[in-house]
A = this chain, B = another copy of it.
Amino acid sequence: MKTILITAFEPFDGETLNPSWEAVRQLDRRELVGATVIARQLPCAFGQSLTVLQQTIESVQPVMVLAVGQAGGRAEVSVERIGINVDDARIADNCGQQPIDRPIAAEGPAAYFATLPIKAMVAAIREAGIPAAVSQTAGTYVCNHVMYGLLHYLHQHRPQVRGGFIHIPYLPEQAVAHPGQASMSADSVIRALEAALTAALSVEEDIRQTGGATH
């Protein structure tokens, strides 16, 4: 049976958990549309996260890769449109690195678009009753680092494998410590990821549906 790889991150920025891993680990070994889901955790560190990701891809040989990360403060599940070739860290990563305006791949292009059907994924998550939207930026921290690095690696070494990134809100128990910030339960996130993966596995050509931003 073919496999799909879904990754999440370890906690960072003083948090004791990362909602991405709380959700993603519950999808490990799940079967979806004739594929087996393999869930793996990545370190929240520039460089090392991509090393682990690439080793995992070589070991797991997935037909599709979806990376998931925390976007504290966002209210919706965000399906990322694009990863950009820059590290610019507002806070240090878990290894103490804080790069500023450093390319992820010295010879790489400025950006890669996700190769997953992002509009179909957003539509599927919303049909499951979970708020979702296309996001036009994955930031410039480790999440974007992994998104760009994943798409660069797949482009160079495994062009037939599709890849993308999803950002998720805080868990309610995290938002207790972040007054006024939105949150989403792990159950909702899991259902959203199932819907997104199912859509990504089922849809060849993305649907034509607006998901833009005026700015």
Q: Which residues of A come within 8 Å of B, CB atoms?
A: 13, 69-76, 78, 81-82, 84, 86-91, 98, 100-101, 109-113, 119, 126, 129-134, 136-141, 143-144, 167, 172-173, 175-176, 178-185, 187-188, 206, 208-215
Q: Are A143 and B84 in contact (CB under 8 A)?
A: no
Residues of B within 8 Å of A144, CB to CB, are 215
State the majority secondary structure of interface residues on A: loop
Question: Which one of B126, B141, B176, B179 contacts A212 once the chains associate, using CB atoms below 8 Å?
Answer: B141
Residues of B within 8 Å of A183, CB to CB, are 75, 131, 182, 184
Known: A126-B176, A175-B75, A210-B100. A84 touches B86 (CB 8 A): no
Residues of B within 8 Å of A110, CB to CB, are 82, 109-113
Known: A82-B110, A182-B182. A90 touches B173 (CB 8 A): no
Q: Are B182 and A185 in contact (CB under 8 A)?
A: no
Q: Are B208 and A13 in contact (CB under 8 A)?
A: no
Smallest CB-CB separation from A209: which chain B residue? Answer: B100
Question: Which one of B111, B112, B176, B206 contacts A130 once the chains associate, using CB atoms below 8 Å?
Answer: B176
6 cross-chain pairs, A with B, having the tightest CB-CB distances, nearest first: A88-B212, A111-B111, A182-B182, A71-B215, A140-B212, A129-B173
Residues of B within 8 Å of A137, CB to CB, are 136-137, 213, 215
Smallest CB-CB separation from A91: which chain B residue? Answer: B214
Known: A101-B119, A185-B187. A140 touches B176 (CB 8 A): no
Known: A136-B84, A182-B75. A172 touches B215 (CB 8 A): no
Least distance between A83 CB and chain B CB atoms (Å) = 9
